[in-house]
Amino acid sequence: MAKNQKGIAPILSLLYLVAFGSFSWGVAAGNYKIFPWKQVAAVFKEIHEFLYFDSGVSKTTTDKIILEPLERRTNFDFSGFKLHDPEFQDDGFLLISEYKGKSQGTIFKLFSIADQKILHIWKAPFEAILANSTKFSSGDLVPNDGGKVRSNEKERFRPQHPFVDERGGLYFIVDQGPMVKINACSNFDWAIDRQFHHSLELDISGNFIVPVVIEEKKSWPIQNYRDDGFALVSQEGHIIKEYSITDILLENGYRGLVYGVGKVEEDRIHLNDVQPITRSKGVTKTGDLALSIRNLSTVLLFRPQSGKIVWLKTGPWLNQHDINILEDGRYSIFGNDIIRRLNGGMKLLQEDKSEIYIYDPSQKTVTTPYTEMMTKEKIVSKTRGRLKILPNSDAYIEQTNASRLIRISANAVRWEYVNGITNDTVGELNWSRYIQKDEIDLNWLENLSCN
């Protein structure tokens, strides 16, 4: 017996050393992003995207197997456009980015609300974009490997927040990937090979303002820190200048907000909207930029000319999206109003309801005039979401996680649009845009001829 025990002891010691070494290497890989962290993280992301529709919106076990990654069960009894108030005249347009199933993928369409008619459709040239892109971190695309496309990549392809110019050219970003320009006939013009994300807006100089991950390496007090920023991009596809959000906050005295609130996560900032200000009002000046920093539940007004933050406010909105200035100098903010957990899960602060906040920086007041309708219609989006307060005070909302666009007044629904794929499923919306009649030139449609 003693002899057998002596023979086993070295084996147990070896197994202990292997286990301890594997554990230590695993801790190092997680903390310092060394091999095999990238491989393990990629597998984990694939599993997560398979199990979830969009950042925590769960599917049933059956749906995980039979539905496409950008498809889920519908919450509605209709698909397409539905007019609720026939007496109300809406002469605006919808520029929609939507996933239409495996056969079509994601398409863009220009929709006339007054005529309830599709005016034009663009198709994103997936292969051309893939061939001109190398930097992706989200798993939506992979670097070009001889033109081969994995079978699931096109089904996860998510072009976002389209903008149409006076010639029918379409600008958009591939979320966590390149910014792209195609012409009115969907032919590829150019792509900027960077990690862009979220919003795309036009400033008063005719340049685009787009959130981007800053690539410049800096020495931060913490490791693996992702510095979000925004880029000024010309309509010809050239980056003119970049701004670091971390630098802006630190240089304006907000070190505590960057480093001192809770544990610092890798995606500390998560910039999800930069809104150019096109006219002066109160403390707001033409050329200022309104910013939404989701992971700090913070919005602010930044003046690029001086590098100064004019005002900054954290909450009461939680993990918000889409800040816009109103005619009277106040600001609208779409509060997703979720609590993000350390394990990646999310919990709504109030079940079945996000919130629209109106902030007045002059009076330092916050109001929620749409609470009744948000509650009644269960307008909620855990992640993402778009909001535009219209001239008559109606609210246009993209309820992204439910694949619904909706226009509401303070007490009624004007219309809805649901992106149905089948009778019981919907496809993802990718930051669609409401365009007022005086904001769009449609002359390019008259003599358009595409092969």
pLDDT digits (tens, 9 = 90+) for 162-219: 999 999 999 999 988 999 999 999 999 999 999 999 999 999 999 999 999 999 888 8
Long-range contacts of 243-247 (CB under 8 A, 24+ apart): 243/304, 244/214, 244/216, 245/269, 245/271, 245/291, 245/293, 246/220
Q: Is the pLDDT of residue 368 over 60?
A: yes
How confident is the model at residue 37, as a pLDDT? Answer: 47
Q: Is the pLDDT of residue 264 over 50?
A: yes
**In percent, how much of the chain has pLDDT > 90?**
69
How confident is the model at residue 135, as a pLDDT? Answer: 63
Token pair recorded at residue 237: 């596809």
Domains of the chain (ranges; CATH) run 36-445 (2.120.10.30)
Q: Is the pLDDT of residue 157 over 90?
A: no
pLDDT band at 137 (very low <50, low <70, confident <90, very high): very low
User: Do residues 334 and 400 touch, judged by C-beta distance below 8 A?
Assistant: no
Question: 168: part of which helix (H) or strand (E)?
Answer: none
Q: What average pLDDT does this structure show over 2-21?
A: 63
Quote the pTM value. Answer: 0.85
Cα 149 to Cα 312: distance, rounded to the nearest angstrom: 44
Question: Per DSSP, what are the bridge partners of residue 335?
Answer: 355
How confident is the model at residue 48, as a pLDDT? Answer: 45
Q: Is the pLDDT of residue 57 over 80?
A: no
Q: Looking at this protein, which amino acid is placed at residue 282? A: G
Angle, helix 2-32 to helix 37-51, in steps of 10 degrees: 80
pLDDT digits (tens, 9 = 90+) for 14-41: 666 766 666 556 555 555 545 554 445 4
Report which of residues 133 and 187 the model is more confident about: 187
User: Do residues 53 and 421 touch, judged by C-beta distance below 8 A?
Assistant: no
| Beta-carbon contacts of residue 173 (< 8 Å; ≥ 6 apart) | 159, 160, 161, 179, 180, 196, 197, 198, 200, 210
pLDDT digits (tens, 9 = 90+) for 401-437: 999 999 999 999 999 999 999 999 999 999 999 999 9
pLDDT band at 280 (very low <50, low <70, confident <90, very high): very high
Mean pLDDT, all residues of the chain: 87
CA-to-CA dists, residue 179 to 106, 212, 234, 335, angstroms: 16, 10, 11, 26
The β-bridge relationship of strands 355-360 and 365-367 is antiparallel
Cα 285 to Cα 399: distance, rounded to the nearest angstrom: 31
pLDDT digits (tens, 9 = 90+) for 323-350: 999 999 999 999 999 998 877 788 999 8
Handedness of CA 44, 47, 51, 52 (dihedral sign): positive
